[in-house]
Chain A
Amino acid sequence: MALSLRPNIKRTKQRQKMKAQPGLTQVEKDKLEIDPDFDFREIATRPFEEITPNELAMFKWSGVYHQLQPSFFMIRVVTPGGRMSTTQFDRAVELADQYAQGELCITTRQTLQFHWVRKEDIYKVIEGMAEVGITTKNGCGDVPRNIIGDSLAGAGPEQVGDSLKLIRAMADDDEIQNQRNLPRKHKISVASSNDALAQTLMNCQGWVPLERNGEVGWKYHAGGGLGARPYLAKAIFDWVPEDRVLDVTRAAIEAFRRHGDRHKRAHARLKVVVDTMGAKKFGDVLMEIMKESGVQGLDQIEYARDSVPSIGRMSINGEAVIPQKEAGRSIVRIMISRSELKTAESRALSQLADELGGGILMFTNRQNIELHDVPNENVDALLAALQEAGFRTEGHEHLPDIVACVGTTLCKMAVSDSPDAYHSLYDALANDEKYWKSVGTLRINITGCPNNCAHAWIADIGLRGTRTRSPDGGSTEGYSIFVGGKLSEAGRIAEYLCDAPAEAIVPAVKKILDTYLENRSSEDELFVDFYERMGIDQFKEWVK
């Protein structure tokens, strides 16, 4: 029997006739009947048992998630492009200190989460953040989520055009942001250059800038998405003039609204729509929708000659400091242990960003923080201060830079304790500088469940939580290990290699890496290229 997962198999038998069938699933009914803009001051006074499970699920539209521990909630804010001023960050830190057990968590979509918030305190956090211009609206739910890009946005040396401008325009666009009843969540990425860093291929919509004869335009991708059944985006348009980007983005959301399968949540996302239609047809649908709404200048949009994307390779590979495009300023990159920031650490960081940086924090999709606009003359002092405060700046995009979700610590969906796996790997391997430097560029992502919040599908080595049945009774927590994922060029979904019990993931990962070290053609052959050369079968053979 074939062991590979086959995510793209389509359900075959589609019955035509379904007359007396009621049209809506319960979730869809809830979305129509329950106003997602809850008054959390009222919720604070309402007894918990009087909140229906349906309402509880709709809290998500305000960025509020019921936590695994029933007395507590998680709140996710929206930070378009991942940027926050220190003023905003300081407020988050204060609120976390007061209401969230003094901890903030950085997400893989470049924003912050509060955990351990009581029902009675939800509104305090939401209102507190609103006072500094940060909303939680559309933090979760079947809506357009936080619009991301890459952490170099607005600063990186290679950037083309102004991705932040587009991100802000999308975040401020009522037509986009008031789509509160989409078939499923919707994710948009806007890159600052043709760089895999922006995760274009795993977003529902992905914009990549390019320059032609001095004019900036955008290449448009759609239909990416991870989750349990991953799809990589297809190129839809090779060229969209900058002033048509918002129109296309809105049209894609409208196309999603019209064509997403509301009967099956697992098959509802835009990735399935695009996969079913194909790139050309999806482009046609967008054009049709734009025509309907009277959008002019559609003849300037060029269809993709090839639907297979060609995303540039990751431009950063471990630098602690990156010179900005703007002369005299730099980006300083800080690794945050397991994405968690305690109050004291946060305050220290914020103070350094103010004193030595430019007062700007950028959350990265590897759950780290970059300080932007650091005057070059402050860089050394900042690095020294960071080190003194206990922050790590070395090892980005290498073995120490592990992404992990909250796993079974806080999340209802999780199977495995991914933070525990993170710490095991980190403690065992991240401090052996010689070793991880010899391995070179490497991304390990650990996700606690198939929802893949921690993006195991696109990592060099992806771990996904599982349990394994023991023949003698019971079952053991563990991980399914996937290898070879990437978001550059046409992208590749990592392929299944093997399972390992949670207790043995350190030797397991080490075995994979040692195999790589022994067999790579040269020190310059990256893990991702080595994988491409060898293939999954050879890997399976090695780890047997």
Chain B
Amino acid sequence: MKQLLNEAKQLIDDGLCDEAVELLCRQGVPEDTQVCELIALAHHHRDYARGDVFSAVVFASRALMQGSTNPKMQEIINSAKRQNKDGDAHLTPQDYKIGGWNEQRDAVDAPLRSCALSKLKGKADTPKDFDWLGKNIPCQKACPAATDIPGYLSAIYEGRHEEAYMINLRDNVFPAVLGRVCARPCESECRHGWDDLGEPVAICFSKRSAADFKQQDLVIMDKWFEDSGKRVAVVGSGVAGLAAARQLALLGHNVTVYEKHSIPGGMLNQGIPVFRLPRDLINKEIEQISALGVEIICNTEIGKDITLSELTGNNDAVVMAAGTLQPNLLDLPGKELEGIRHGLDFLLEVNEAGSTEIGDKVVVIGGGFTAMDCARTARRLGATTVQVEEEKADKVASGSILRIPKGNVGVWYRRSVDEMLVTPGEIEELEHEHIPLETRVSPKAYVGEKGRVIAMQFVRTELGEPDASGRRRPIDIAGSEFELPVDTVLLATGQFPDTRWIDHALKAELVEEDGWLKSGTAFSTARERIFAAGDFATGASSLIQAIGHAKGCVRAVDQFLTGQTRLKDFARIEDVTDSGRIREMDAVPLQPMPTVGLEERDLPTEVEQGFGEEASIDEAQRCYQCHYKYEIDSDKCIYCDWCVKAKPRPECILKVKELHHDDEGRIVGWDIAEKADDVNMIWINQEDCIRCGACVAACPVDAISIQKVSLITEPVTA
């Protein structure tokens, strides 16, 4: 007994009230005077949890009744008595200004600093508002084209694929294309993919389903402005050039796009294999741009057929969107040998001619989009050795990858899988298509015989500190050199902008000695009428990055042409009564993308078949709908904690003593309150909120509002 009491005392001193009481109760019903004294002291000592005061009084009273002489017992009882003040009745009407889901707010400035946004409703545009959008809708923030992802996923969920397509069309110009081949930076940021929350939503594939299930064949957007009378030339008809052209056309400008190849589309047509991107889709989405009055002139090479200077003279502005067509060739011994070629040329040839010569032992060097496409294309090209699995012989399409021996095409990359810049799922597809991937191997030399490459020398690497690209730098491991027999080497080792076509008169002003633009990634150049968009400015990147850059560039062009800022961003805040989500939707599993079997995989057959309509809706319902903002009106809130009890995440609803703000009024931190009297507000930490709505369902006084906050871009006139 004595030991028990001592242990309990120790626990009380350590601030472990519940543990102390549990220990004291272990011996039996707490009735011993000393036990009662200690239970009273344990609660009195903590004194901040609900019920502590009462428990202390109950057990102190019992101890006293049983003859306790501990003076603390009476003290506990006395201190617990609340003294009622006389006089003023303090009858205050509840005065709240934000309200719950069943109230409508006015479009006025936020009444409290604790409000998440600068306005209660309507359009807001302070740094606080944009900061909220960026932190709370991480997918949209991650999208260089700022695609309204929750917006179109909710449209799909409601079966409005047409509207979902329209949202994408507005934001990223090529929904059907990007729905297949986007690098999808959004998905790695998706809240659903955070630790313990499952898998990210298949945002990209959902975009595709919007395109697959829309009814309308061609979707032509309404222009934002009347004809401006300004002429703009765009050099290059890749995604950047076309996106720029589309935006310029919507702004009312007269746009001509120049393309040196016979068909527009740039990398879409020349780089990406048909089995990933059917060509009719590209044509259709380009047609939607032409329909806005954009003229696309093919087979016309700037610098050859017409100079940039001339173009600049004939137009009010020129946008250079010529992509990155200059391959980065490895400067290795034996680089002049036959059988070594750049992957982009290889893909271009296959995409234009439908075939090319390729050896039996193909090595692809690199770890990016191009490397993946080269390997999977090479895998599909015919070879002399045919090894067909017997039972599948009948079903195998001519040119199927099953006709080619396993392992004859491989990808070799000097860093690890983590550093690879590829579309999610592509490494799995490599494996699925029996293409070996060897990482942490760096090429050192080509070995030739009779002028042809017959082998490659590699050295194994280990990863060091991150380099300028943020990826870990490969370091050669001495003594690990080895040789691999090859007959075709495809170099997917990057490419640069080719600026050689810029005529002499402008070169000094625009181009560095190393061939890169002097203006770097900026939209404008030293020459005021000349702008740069997409990979041509940023270096090789993703389609969506190029589109995003082009959209930004167009704003600069328009500003130059009109002298006004005619597109303005806002956070649009709307009242909503119900998000339509319930917590159980979070448990819906990621919908699998159906693909064609290996036996059908040839050059023209699209591998990914797209979601069925039902699966597209099931997948879309997984989206947390991060554009909803749940906010507690602290003046309507009665601090019952029921939302805190119902919350799904440890940090999503907090009992806050004080919020910290920066100079712009943004909420940058908080202090947690421990005692009930210190709780100034029960606050939804929206960055950790997964929009389940459990708090709204739990709130007994409807103090939680739901609002939809969307980033919108609107044409404005002076």
Query: A interface vs B, CB < 8 Å?
Result: 1-3, 5-6, 9, 11-13, 15, 17-25, 48, 68-72, 98-99, 101, 116, 118, 121, 227-229, 263-266, 408-410, 412-415, 417, 419-420, 424, 428, 449-451, 464-470, 473-477, 480-481, 496-508, 510-511, 540, 543-544
Contacts and interface: CB of A to CB of B under 8 A. Distances in A.
B700 interface: yes
The 7 A-B pairs at the shortest CB distance, nearest first, are namely: A228-B700, A450-B700, A467-B639, A409-B54, A20-B618, A466-B638, A68-B51
Interface in B66-97: 82-97
A23 B618 CA distance: 14
Contacts of B676: 467, 475, 477
Contacts of A480: 94, 638
Contacts of A11: 577-578
A410 B51 contact: yes
Contacts of B462: none
16 contacts: A5-B702, A19-B618, A21-B582, A22-B588, A69-B21, A71-B18, A116-B58, A264-B582, A408-B54, A413-B642, A414-B640, A428-B84, A450-B700, A475-B678, A503-B84, A543-B91
B679 A501 contact: no
A367 to B, nearest CB: 18
Given A15-B580, A474-B680, A118 B588 contact: no
B2 interface: no
A1 B25 CA distance: 52
Q: Which one of B91, B158, B580, B677 has the greatest number of beta carbons of chain A within 10 Å?
A: B91
A419 B343 CA distance: 80
Contact of A498 (B55, B94, B700): B94
Interface string B5-30: 00000000000001001100100011
Nearest to A121: B29
B338 interface: no
Given A5-B702, A507-B90, A543-B89, A475 B639 contact: yes
Contacts of B584: 21-25, 263
A118 B25 contact: yes
B614 interface: yes
B622 to A, nearest CB: 9
Interface of B: 18, 21-22, 25, 29-30, 43, 50-51, 53-55, 58, 62, 82-97, 99, 102-103, 105-106, 157-159, 577-578, 580, 582-585, 587-589, 591, 614, 617-618, 621, 634-635, 637-642, 657-658, 673, 676-681, 697-698, 700-702
A507 to B, nearest CB: 4
Contacts of B83: 503
Nearest to A3: B94
Contacts of A20: 588-589, 591, 618, 621
Given A228-B701, A474-B680, A475-B639, A70 B94 contact: no
Contacts of A412: 50
Given A20-B588, A101-B58, A469-B634, 11 more contacts: A11-B578, A17-B159, A22-B587, A413-B640, A414-B50, A469-B681, A498-B91, A499-B93, A500-B89, A506-B86, A511-B91
B588 A415 contact: no
Given A25-B583, A69-B51, A502 B578 contact: no
A507 B638 contact: no
Nearest to A508: B89
A101 B62 contact: yes
Contacts of A504: 84-85, 88-90
Q: Which one of A70, A481, A543 has the greatest number of beta carbons of chain B within 10 Å?
A: A70
A21 B82 contact: no
B99 A265 contact: no
A410 B97 contact: no
A537 B414 CA distance: 78
Contacts of B635: 469
B621 A473 contact: no
B580 A451 contact: no
Contacts of B89: 500, 504, 507-508, 510-511, 543
A254 to B, nearest CB: 25
A466 B638 CA distance: 4
Given A118-B29, A500-B91, A508-B89, A449 B640 contact: yes
A464 B97 CA distance: 21
A466 B676 CA distance: 12
A497 B678 CA distance: 26
A413 B697 CA distance: 15
B583 A475 contact: no
Nearest to A124: B29
Given A408-B51, A450-B700, A507-B89, A1 B97 contact: yes
Contacts of A465: 638, 640
A265 to B, nearest CB: 7
Contacts of B97: 1
A511 B673 CA distance: 34
B86 A450 contact: no
A506 B84 contact: yes
B90 A467 contact: no
A502 B657 CA distance: 21
B186 to A, nearest CB: 22
Nearest to A421: B82
B677 to A, nearest CB: 5
A3 B93 CA distance: 9
Contacts of B614: 19
Nearest to B55: A69
A93 B639 CA distance: 36
A265 B588 CA distance: 21
B700 A451 contact: yes
Contacts of B677: 474-477
A206 to B, nearest CB: 23
Contacts of A473: 657-658, 678, 680
Nearest to B587: A22
Contacts of B96: 1, 3
B301 to A, nearest CB: 52
Given A424-B82, A477-B676, A2 B90 contact: no
A424 B84 contact: yes
Contacts of A99: 29
Contacts of A9: 102, 577
A47 to B, nearest CB: 11
B243 to A, nearest CB: 34
A503 B159 CA distance: 55
Contacts of B700: 227-229, 266, 449-451
A6 B101 CA distance: 11
A229 B702 CA distance: 10
B22 A70 contact: yes
A502 B205 CA distance: 57
Contacts of B95: 3
B587 to A, nearest CB: 5
Contact of B82 (A6, A48, A498, A503): A503
